[in-house]
Amino acid sequence: MTVPIEYYVLLSMALFCIGLFGILTRRNALMFLMSVELMLNAANINLIAFAFYHGNLTGQVFALFTMALAAAEVAVGLGIILVLYRNFRDVDVTVPTTMRW
Amino acid sequence: MMIETLIAVALIGALVTFVAPNRIAGKLAFLISLVPAGLSLWMFATFDGRGNALLEGDLAFESRLEWIQLGAYDISWFVGLDGISMPLVVLTTILVTLAIVSSWTPIDDRESQFYGLVLFIEANLIGVFAALDFFVWFIFWEAVLIPMYLLIGIWGGPRRKYAAIKFFVYTNVASLVMFGAVIALVFGLGDAVTSFALPEITAAMLDGGPDGFFGVAGPTLASAVFVATFVGFAVKVPVVPFHTWLPDAHVEAPTPASVLLAGVLLKMGTYALLRFNFTMFPTEIVEPFVVPIAVVAVISVIYGAMLALAQTDLKRIVAYSSVSSMGYVILGLIAYTHFGVGGATFQMVSHGLISGLMFMAVGVIYNATHTRMVTDMSGMADRMPIAVGIFVAGSFGYMGLPLMSGFAAEYFIFFGSFGADFPYAPVFTALAMFGIVVVAGYLLYAMQRAIFGPYSLETDYEVSRAPLHDVAPMFVLLGLIIVLGVAPELIFEMIHDAVDPIVDGGEL
Amino acid sequence: MTTGPKLRLDSSLAPGVLAVALFVIMATIVLNTGFSPEMEGFEGVDSITAEIGYAMFDLEALQSTEGSIPDTEAFLAAFLLIAVALDAALDASLVLAKREEEGEPVAALASRGTGSDGAGSAASGVAGSDRSAATDGGHEGSTVDADRADDPGGESR
Amino acid sequence: MEGLFDYAPAIALFPLVAFVVALAFGNSLPKKGAIPGILATGGSLLLSIAMLAAVASGEVYHETLYEWAIGDAVSDTGVDGVEFTFGILIDPLSALMLVIVSLIAFLVHVFSLGYMNAEGETGLPRYYAGLGLFTFSMLAFVYADNLLMAFMFFELVGLCSFLLIGFWFRTRSAPSAAKKAFLVTRFGDYFFLIGVVAIAATFGTLQFAGDDSFVAAAETAIADGTTLFGFAPETWVTITGLLVLGGVVGKSAQFPLHTWLPDAMEGPTTVSALIHAATMVAAGVYLVARMFGYYALSPTALAIIAFVGGFTALFAATMGVVKDDIKQVLAYSTISQYGYMMLGLGVGGYVAGVFHLMNHAFFKALLFLGAGSVIVLMHHEQDMWKMGGLKEKAPVTYWTFLAGALALAGIIPFSGFWSKDEILYDALIVGLEEPIILAAYAMGLVAVFFTGFYTFRMVFLTFHGEPRSEAAEDPHPVGWSIKAPLIVLGVLALVAGVANLAPVAKLAQLDITFLESWLDGEFGAIEGLTYGAYGELLAYETSYIGTESTTVLIAAGVSLLLAFSGAGVAWTLYNVPEPVEHKERLGSIGKTVEDNYYQDEYQVWLAEGLTLPLSRAADRFDQTVVDGVVNGVSTASLFGSDRMKRLQTGIVTNYAALLVTGFIALLLVLGILGGWF
Amino acid sequence: MAFVELPEWAALAPVLILAGTALALFVFDSVNPHSTNRAVLAGTSAVGSLAALGVAVWFTAAGVGAPGMDGFGVIELFDGQIVVDQMALFFIIVVTVVTALVVVASYDYMEGHAYQAEYYSLVMLAATGMATMATANSLVTIFIALELASLPSYALVAILKDNRGSVEAGLKYFLLGALSSAIFVYGISLVYGATGFLQLDAIAAELEALAAGDGGDFGGLLGLGILMLIGGFAFKTASVPFHFWAPEAYEGAPAPISAFLSSASKAAGFVIAFRVFTTAFPVDVTGQLIGVDWTLAFVILAVVTMTVGNFAAATQENVKRMLAYSSIGHAGYVLIGLAGLGAGSELVMGAAMMHLLVYGFMNTGAFLFVGLAEHWGVGRTFEDYNGLSRQAPIACAALAVFMFSLAGVPPFGGFWSKYFLFTGALEAGLLVVAVALVVNSALSLYYYARLVKAVWIEDPIVERDGLTQPTGLYAAIVVAAVMTVVLLPGFGPIADAALEAAAVVIA
């Protein structure tokens, strides 16, 4: 007895939207990063669930790559947050607004 | 390859002049411009074209090269001259040469760039009149705007920035409308055309017209395109109510740019109207629009002249009078008679010479007085008899004094449109002719105030006579005006020959 | 500076409505999707991990044996590519994380006093000895002194 | 004589050469260009006389010399193709006119030596160039063989008139007058040009003479009843004829376009004599005579011509009565006299009109030159109230002037009497049948009285009585170059009437109406362009009071009586040692007359009170509405742009929110269309 | 041709050259981390990118990836994960051209910067990523290549670490980039869910099967997935509503990087979009499944994007920001290529490709001019640019060329590509889009002309001494300008190449 695929997908979507919620409401850059990670992992859930659903491994392997790329993204992201902090003494993403309009 | 040579000489000359030292740029540009002028005169003398370029006429100096294949359509480098374009090419080369000479005095900053741009304009203008492929034509057509934009913008008067950008954007928008319309038309023609060569499009138009496009029926499409292209060209001409860029551009432009603007650039509009709207489209498409266009033409003539009457800036006066004169051209074009269409073409050349002369004369007066305000000066004839004399002569040319080209042109147009077949043609003609009274009114009024009467002008220096190189170009122009006025057949013969198929094909 | 997580409920949460709305829409779509109730699953597969390895390196010979999973795609290209991508990430994060002292790049996370010359200050001393190497290619004045960034973690509030 | 006509173009070209020479080299020539002018006009005069002689010997010349423009055009009468050409038509009428024009031009050139050169004017090359160009244009106009060529030179003489009126451009008044002259005549020419275009478009030809002339074509059309431009042929001929008449009214200063002529007196007096009295102003009348065949087809047009002429004759004469400036008096008298000519032509008195044209050219040129002489004598004083007593001091001027005045007033036996009497006689006999012509006749008759009055008022004030200023007491001497032309013209004014002593001929049954025979082609003429031919076309009926003789006597007697009574009144009022003004006696009428019946006022109002404000309003409209729309589009776009860029708040969370919003919107659109929900 | 003797993988040569150069620079940096030998670094990069360009041009001319008699067929590598066809080569050309221009210009622009080697290696890595994007044929490789292009880009934007603008730009770019890639991956997962495949051909085949009726009803899910993929492309191409990063990133980044991102990165974004939507989601089959033509999404995006970009650009005061918005506007124009996709629609897609190539010259040139101005230190706003032509007429002439070409005014290359887009839109029946294109072109004239006005017409506000003529920047700008002009008469080959490439992909 397996759990129907819909539940996985709903779960992943919930996770996705939670991540999105974080992005939309949080001002801390690190929180922002974490939220993005949530969203990426939501995709991973999907991939793995669908891999099982379709009975091929493509999704699973791809999920591995996604994780690697997520890590790479975080690495660069942290670097940027670092220089952000050096320049603005803050990691609030809403602070840098020197350029607008 | 003659046309290519003309264009290439001007283009290379433009580049050379652009990088030449400012000191010699003026003389250099003059020498370079003599080449196209001389060549085009030689071409004029050996011209052997017959018939209309768009209506299977024999072209002179034709050349055609494949360029780009776009889907079902060929785009080719296709140039050639017929009796309509030949005089305009000569007009262009001569006016450019004279404009260069007339710039020696007023242009004292960034000369090499100035003359480079003037030569660049020349190349494009020749291209506009010689091109027979829609794309070649359109590229030159648009390319003219850029140097003119810069000429007005850099060397213009106090409000030059506004004027330049208005000119540029306004006319460009109009071009876009026209461009879109023509493309839609070509698409609507479907398999009937395989290239953008104007003769081919014309043949397809006259032979059945478009099948329709986007669910629009063929005739409706053709009518819509007619209106769109007319509006597009009307801005360039300009026809009331699309004229407001013109006075601004003219007033702010430096004299040589005004000369070219009025002398040749406006002719692009009427030339295109003739080529596109009144050659390409079959009679049944044009017919419903003839009376509205006649109304617009008459309004242009009278309203333009009225506006000129209200001005106190000499350049503005001449600028508005151009609006008025171009109204005659439109009137001639819609007449669909030999004399109407031929006269309109003749008027293009004639007005090019006369308005060029007028702007030069105003420019020479301005060089000396640093004002163009009629109200600021009085009795200029006292100090600058020759320049003023030429101004007076030019003014009378503008008024259509017989034995000057303006009269010939206007007479042809009036005669052609009076006998035209559209409803109330005589009435429209008579109304438009009232322009000759108003034009006399505002020019004489301006003359009376500015150049006659006791001398008075507040300057802290002595106003002296203009140097020879300021006056010489005006004499050349005056000479040409009189020659054409006495012997219009010099060019009217070839114009007539080229106009013939249009009128036969389009008998209303 | 350390504070525990706090639930903030203010107007800054308003955009969160969008996330909720998106969830509603997506959920509706999912519920309208006619998934087949049966999952294919990996019945009779010897080793999923091994299969993943085969797929990752395009070991087609091994993939096509009995008991393997059909239809799995090849990932060698992706694997090679991600190697480069990770290089790029490394490069990028290093550039960003490094600090500069008096215009000289120093190790990103060196402790004060010791790490400043860890990353080969000799070489940099040769190349950029007498010139202050601005990191700003444009000539906009820099606003913050780089060497003040001694707290690389960046504290949240 | 056959080859002589080959030199016909030279008649006009001589002065053209003089124009070029004077313009280009005038400043370095002795007499500043006068010599070439005199030589050229002299040459023209000789050639013209030769032409006259040739015509007298029975030859005529009608040749197209130059094709100006050729084209295909289907005229309304179905003629295919049209040629606009320059050609020369020398027939009795034009030969006569050539002589008149070149003679007066020659005399004026000579006179100018004394009037302009001797007075040390500056800008003389310009003056002589203008005269040369004028003479060229006028002569070319005269022998033009088609309407377009006529129109072209008709316009050119207008230009010369402008240039010469504005000769003293450093004053305020001269340029203004020049402008007015050109504008007003241009207004007339506007109609003329429509007429030319209409005739060309209707008949496909503009030839005056020959089988392919528009006159002949019009005859055919009327005979065939062809509909022309939607009108009956007669109506259309009337319309086009009247359109052409617009130019005539303008150029010949007929009511209501007469206002420019008095102002034109701002020019040098020589110019007034040549252009604004003897020749250019005559161009209008000459044109009517030239295409008389066409007008003859339209009784309506003729009646209008006659009525306008009669009215103008009276109207202008009354204004002449109250003028104080000697040239102004002459100017109004000119207008009035051309009114007579129009009246004469309008009633079908072709010979009478041309006769008066000729006589008037002589005596009015004489009077103007005399006035010029007076002005020189008076040190450039033109107010007659400052003159007086010049009779003794300048006898040549006085006697010649008197001859001109007598001719003008129509006193027997001076030339003016004969021609004016003939006009009035012709008007009377037609008027007895046509009431409107009778009215015109009546006005012409009344004008005779005023003519006599103002003429002699002028003579008495100028020459009689006591000198009323220092200048008058000590006049500036005048040289031979002034006196000689006066004498020549004085003699002509006296004797020119001999050319057509119609009353005598009718009463004495003598064949001495030489001019009539001349114009009737008894010596030689082109077919269709004769008095006789015109007579056949004319639809007028005539009748007499009693017999022809009694009518002749009555007409002559009445006009003579009126002329004498006018002169007599002037005698009583002004031939006194110390004449005084009598204007106040006229009361408000006098004021009205002195203000020229407010003709100038309303025309100036039309120009400055109506057109100018209208144009300013148009300008404002253009600046605000038409250009406002253009600028409005741009402003609206830029405003939209400003709003649009405000989306970019700079806060990255907002971007995320907007991004998601956009995504959701897109999702909703596609989802709803695709039925995903 | 001798080429036949080369192994199949050699078709990837341009990409490999780029990757090799990047790694060489990376190694160089590791060995000699503080080298500021700009000549060597920039030279290596330039040589590498030019070599890649040369090979790509050679391959194109030789017919690699072209089907038919004289071609070598579409070359598939790595089980179809990677494909080399004409479209791939075309975009590799675009990317390498821009890269070459950018690195040459960077020689002067980055003078005095601390991280020379890293800079160039990052640029080359990003270029590698973009070139790979052109060849990627599976959602996996596409995603990884996309990240490969993105990650260095984030760092490059923020590389002026002491410059608040640069850092802010990097942050915004990164944050929105991360969000977009999350959405993109999620989209991939959904597409995978709907089809079970990630390789594009396989997806298409599966869709055929699904449309034929065997399989579940995945319409909504597939649609959502496709839409999320579109989101990923939209981010990369700076299209509405994923464009918000662009104005700031382009404004804050070093000018050559702005040029790089707005030209090459955009082109790369489009190539994956073209590849995915032509290969994986044929319009008719997909439309049958999801109930709506996905081209509709692109129609909306195209119109909105060009309008937003052009309107927002019209009143900018900052030149770079104006160019950034103009870049968004151009993304909208190119989107027409996707909006008009369908059977036999190679014209419209080919037009989009041509536009990207021309855009690679003119837009890069324009941004490099801004770089030149920053190098001179004249300031950033239009007013600061006033009267530059007095000191630097050649560069300003080049700028005028770029501006008019961007506006689509003849006689420059931009005219052709814009015209072809217009024609394509008409042929595809997208009257609304065509009209929007015309209206936006009209508006764009205003602000492009405004920049020309500033440098040529306005008088300088402050007195300036003579300006230097940095060789690299000048060379890059002049080359770009000359190419922009030459592309007008020489447009034939490009049009042919683009149309053929498009035809192969669409067929």
The domain locations on chain C are: 48-82
Query: Which of B478-482, D70-74, E32-36 is predicted least confidently?
Result: E32-36
* Banded model confidence at residue C102, pLDDT cuts 50, 70, 90: low
Residue E361 lies in a domain: yes
Q: What percent of chain C has pLDDT over 70?
A: 52
Q: What is the pTM of this model?
A: 0.89
Nearest-neighbour CA in chain C from D647: distance (Å) = 16
D671 and C18: CB-CB below 8 Å?
Answer: no
The residue range of the domain holding B433 is: 282-508
Q: Average pLDDT, stretch E245-262?
A: 91
D59 CB-contact burial (10 Å; exposed 0-12 / middle 13-18 / buried 19+): middle
pLDDT, residue B230, reads 92
* Banded model confidence at residue E257, pLDDT cuts 50, 70, 90: very high
Q: What is the mean pLDDT of chain B?
A: 87
Q: What residue ranges in D349-405 does DSSP mark as E strands?
A: none
Summarised one tens digit per residue, pLDDT across range D512-540 is 788 888 888 777 777 778 888 888 877 77
Element of type H or E holding D349: none
B5 CB-contact burial (10 Å; exposed 0-12 / middle 13-18 / buried 19+): middle
Domain containing residue A80: CATH number: 1.10.287.3510
Q: Are B367 and B455 in contact (CB under 8 A)?
A: no
pLDDT, residue E52, reads 92
B contact chains, 3+ CB pairs < 8 A: D, E
Same domain flag for B259 and B380: no
Pick D207 or D521 by higher pLDDT: D207
**Alpha-carbon dihedral E127, E130, E134, E135, rounded to 10 degrees:** 80
Nearest-neighbour CA in chain D from E332: distance (Å) = 15
Summarised one tens digit per residue, pLDDT across range A21-79 is 999 888 888 888 999 999 999 999 999 998 888 888 888 889 999 999 999 999 999 99
Inspect the structure and tell me whether chains A and D have 3 or more CB pairs less than 8 Å apart: yes
Provide the token pair at E143: 């995603």
Query: Which of B78-82, B312-316, D472-476 is predicted least confidently?
Result: D472-476
Judged by DSSP in three states, D180 sits in: helix
Peptide bond into B385 cis (omega under 30): no
E161 and A73: CB-CB below 8 Å?
Answer: no
Contact list, B138 vs chain E (CB under 8 Å): 410
Residue E146 contacts D, CB cutoff 8 Å: no
Provide the token pair at C91: 């490069």
Cβ neighbour number for residue A20 with a 10 Å cutoff: 28
pLDDT, residue C152, reads 37
The residue range of the domain holding A21 is: 5-88
Interacting residues of B127 by C-beta distance below 8 A, sequence separation 6+: B7, B79, B136, B137, B139, B140, B143
CA-CA distance, B92 to B95, in Å (whole number)? 5
pLDDT, residue D35, reads 85
Collect all residues from B whose CB is shorter than 8 A from any CB in E: 18, 67-71, 110, 113, 124, 135, 138-143, 145-146, 149-150, 153-154, 160-161, 164-165, 168-169, 172-173, 176-177, 180, 183-184, 187, 214
Provide the token pair at D301: 């047009």
* Last residue of one domain, picked from the residues B224, B252, B281: B281
Provide the number of structural domains found in chain E: 1
What does the radius of gyration of chain D's CA atoms come to, in whole angstroms?
Answer: 31
Q: Is the pLDDT assigned to residue D419 strictly greater than 80?
A: yes
Q: Are D139 and D12 in contact (CB under 8 A)?
A: yes
pLDDT, residue E69, reads 59
Q: What percent of chain E has pLDDT over 90?
A: 44
Pick C5 or B457 by higher pLDDT: B457
How many Cβ contacts (< 8 angstroms) between chains B and D?
A: 155
Residue E260 lies in a domain: no
Provide the number of structural domains found in chain A: 1
DSSP B380-449: GGGT-HHHHHHHHHHHHHHTT-TTSHHHHHHHHHHHHHHT-SSTTHHHHHHHHHTHHHHHHHHHHHHHHH
- Mutation to test the E interface, candidates D637, D639, D659, D663, most E Cβ within 10 Å: D659
pLDDT, residue C121, reads 38
In E32-138, alpha helices (H): 38-62, 86-109, 116-135
CA atoms within a 13 Å half-sphere pointing along the CA-CB vector of B205:
33
Cβ neighbour number for residue B490 with a 10 Å cutoff: 14
Provide the number of structural domains found in chain B: 2
Name which of B47, B202, B191 is nearest B132 in CA terms.
B202
Same domain flag for B275 and B287: no
Distances (CA, A) of D574 to D387, D463, D465: 12, 11, 8
Inspect the structure and tell me whether chains D and B have 3 or more CB pairs less than 8 Å apart: yes
CA-CA distance, B272 to B276, in Å (whole number)? 6
Summarised one tens digit per residue, pLDDT across range C27-53 is 888 888 877 777 777 777 777 888 888
Residue A79 lies in a domain: yes
Handedness of CA D426, D429, D433, D434 (dihedral sign): positive
Same domain flag for B287 and B171: no
Residue D58 contacts E, CB cutoff 8 Å: no
Residue C36 gets the label, from left (phi > 0), alpha (psi -120 to 50) or beta, of beta
- Mutation to test the B interface, candidates D27, D606, D619, most B Cβ within 10 Å: D619
pLDDT, residue E70, reads 63
Residue E179 contacts D, CB cutoff 8 Å: yes
Q: Are B361 and B391 in contact (CB under 8 A)?
A: yes
Q: Average pLDDT, stretch C123-140?
A: 40
Same domain flag for B109 and B14: yes
The residue range of the domain holding E487 is: 294-507
Q: What percent of chain D has pLDDT over 90?
A: 3
* Last residue of one domain, picked from the residues B228, B263, B281: B281
Residue A77 lies in a domain: yes
Q: Are B282 and B506 in contact (CB under 8 A)?
A: yes
Name which of E197, E184, E270 is nearest E228 in CA terms.
E184
CA-CA distance, E486 to E401, in Å (whole number)? 11
Nearest-neighbour CA in chain D from A98: distance (Å) = 7
* Banded model confidence at residue C5, pLDDT cuts 50, 70, 90: low
Provide the token pair at B6: 């003309």
* Last residue of one domain, picked from the residues B223, B257, B281: B281
Q: Is the pLDDT assigned to residue D452 strictly greater than 50?
A: yes
Nearest-neighbour CA in chain D from C142: distance (Å) = 20
Residue A80 contacts E, CB cutoff 8 Å: yes
Provide the token pair at B214: 């986007």
Q: What is the mean pLDDT of chain D?
A: 85
Q: Is the pLDDT assigned to residue D1 strictly greater than 60?
A: no
What does the radius of gyration of chain A's CA atoms come to, in whole angstroms?
Answer: 17
Q: Average pLDDT, stretch D169-195?
A: 88
Same domain flag for B296 and B269: no
Q: Is the pLDDT assigned to residue E254 strictly greater than 80?
A: yes
D653 and A24: CB-CB below 8 Å?
Answer: yes
Residue E451 lies in a domain: yes
Q: Average pLDDT, stretch C145-157?
A: 36
E220 and C32: CB-CB below 8 Å?
Answer: yes
Nearest CA in chain A to E185: A43
Name which of E437, D632, E442 is nearest B169 in CA terms.
E442
Distances (CA, A) of B40 to B43, B239, B287, E51: 5, 30, 37, 48
Query: What is the CA D201 to chain-centroid distance, rounded?
Result: 25
Q: Is the pLDDT assigned to residue D247 strictly greater than 60?
A: yes
Provide the token pair at E104: 């040459």
